Amino acid sequence: MESALLIGESSRVVGRSSFNRRSDAIAYGSPYQKAAALVDLAEDGLGLPEEILDQSLFEEAVKYYFVFIRFDFIWSLNYFALIVLNFFEKPLWCAGDPTDACSARDYYYLGQLPYLTGAESLIYEGITMIILAIHLFFPLAYEGQHIYWTKPLNRLKVVCLLILAIDLVIFATSISPVAFDSLPFRVAPYIRVVFFVLNIRELRNSIVVLTGMLGTYLNILALLLLFLLFSSWVAYVMFEDTKQGKTEFTSYGATLYQMFVLYTTSNNPDVWLAAYKISRWYSLFFILYILLAVYFVTNLILAVVYDSFKGEVGSLFIYCTTFM
């Protein structure tokens, strides 16, 4: 075969009927191109589960899978619509305000995007939820209940969908003449972001990597906190009876705050000008603090985080290549 079935990094010769996307090859390609795309998906841990390859209903399952792939643009567009809704629905804190605080856009920095009314937002959210439910439960047609419910990702999506549905019912009740006058809080905007993350494999992997680095984050945070606490205690004791202590370092809490801001160099050198006017030797303490904070502690934090990130990415790659 002289022409490549799929265009990719390993494809040197591109045929006239080659496809750029695997989903297009599965939906519109020849049997050979469909087979190549399915094999490519299987190598990435996607596509049809291996468990159904030996089943008698495999041919029927493949037909349902091809139908599912044909609507890939609709599924992607619906997830985009879920995120866009967060920008067009009226904030709850001004939706229940009788003075219509949302009209004062310049005062509250609300931007110039038009807000949907309660009814429009309800219709918009209802349509996206119906499409979301179809996309979520359609794989039951080609995977079967046993395979579908054994995947933790599917169970998590179903739980999020139930929460989204309950929140929508409560919101519909709140804008009706009965029950609530106003709704204090909605969880739906956050669940929409969760759905968006769960649907994109790269984002899911990033969340897994960041979760694996949580222990490193806590250790680095403890190191930074210890450095700030010790430096603030030294500064508070050193300048307690000076003009610096009476104007800037009035208490240990104030000293801790000022030293934290100085760590970012935002108030440098304003915060230690009072001490500098008393004696220029006092500036050595602040210069040494900035050198340690910026050029040692910060670089140490970056090095540790980067090393931990590489380790987590390597572990994730080994897991994906071994078990998927």
Residue-level pLDDT at 133: 94
Three-class secondary structure of residue 6 per DSSP: strand
- DSSP-assigned letters across all residues of 146-180: HHHHT-HHHHHHHHHHHHHHHHHHHHHHHTSSSS-
- Mean pLDDT, all residues of the chain: 78
Q: Count the Cβ atoms, other than its own, within 10 Å of residue 36.
A: 21
Residue-level pLDDT at 105: 64
pLDDT digit string, tens, across residues 144-154 = 888 888 888 88
- DSSP-assigned letters across all residues of 281-305: GGHHHHHHHHHHIIIIIHHHHHHHH
| 9 pLDDT higher than 50 | no
Residue-level pLDDT at 2: 45
Residue-level pLDDT at 44: 60
Phi, psi of 100 (to 5 degrees): 55, 70
Q: How confident is the model at residue 53 (pLDDT cuts 50, 70, 90)?
A: low
| 297 pLDDT higher than 60 | yes
Query: What gap in Å lies between CA 127 and CA 323, rounded to an integer?
Result: 37
Query: What gap in Å lies between CA 188 and CA 171, rounded to an integer?
Result: 10
pLDDT digit string, tens, across residues 163-181 = 999 999 888 887 776 655 6
| 161 pLDDT higher than 90 | yes
List the Cα angle 236/240/243 in 5-degree steps.
Answer: 115
Give CA separation, 13 vs 9, 10, 27, 193, in Å: 11, 9, 22, 40
Residue-level pLDDT at 159: 94
pLDDT digit string, tens, across residues 248-290 = 788 888 888 888 888 887 777 777 777 777 778 878 888 898 8
In sequence order, the β-bridge partners of residue 19 are: 6
Torsion 101-105-106-109 (CA) sign? positive
Among residues of the chain, what percentage have pLDDT more than 90? 15
Q: Supply the pTM of this predicted model.
A: 0.67
Q: Look up the CATH number of domain 214-323.
A: 1.10.287
Closest-CA residue to 3 (of 24, 23, 17, 21): 17
Mean pLDDT, to the nearest integer, of 174-201? Answer: 80
Query: Greater confidence, 320 or 85?
Result: 85
pLDDT digit string, tens, across residues 232-249 = 898 888 887 788 777 778
Query: What gap in Å lies between CA 282 and CA 259, rounded to an integer?
Result: 15
Query: What gap in Å lies between CA 120 and CA 219, rounded to an integer?
Result: 48
Among residues of the chain, what percentage have pLDDT more than 70? 76
pLDDT digit string, tens, across residues 299-312 = 888 888 888 888 77
pLDDT digit string, tens, across residues 54-95 = 666 767 777 788 788 788 889 989 999 999 998 888 777 776
Query: What gap in Å lies between CA 80 and CA 277, rounded to an integer?
Result: 58
Amino acid at 8: G
Residue-level pLDDT at 315: 74
User: Which range among 20-29, 34-43, 147-156 has the greatest average pLDDT?
Assistant: 147-156
Torsion 48-53-57-60 (CA) sign? positive
Query: What gap in Å lies between CA 92 and CA 269, rounded to an integer?
Result: 43
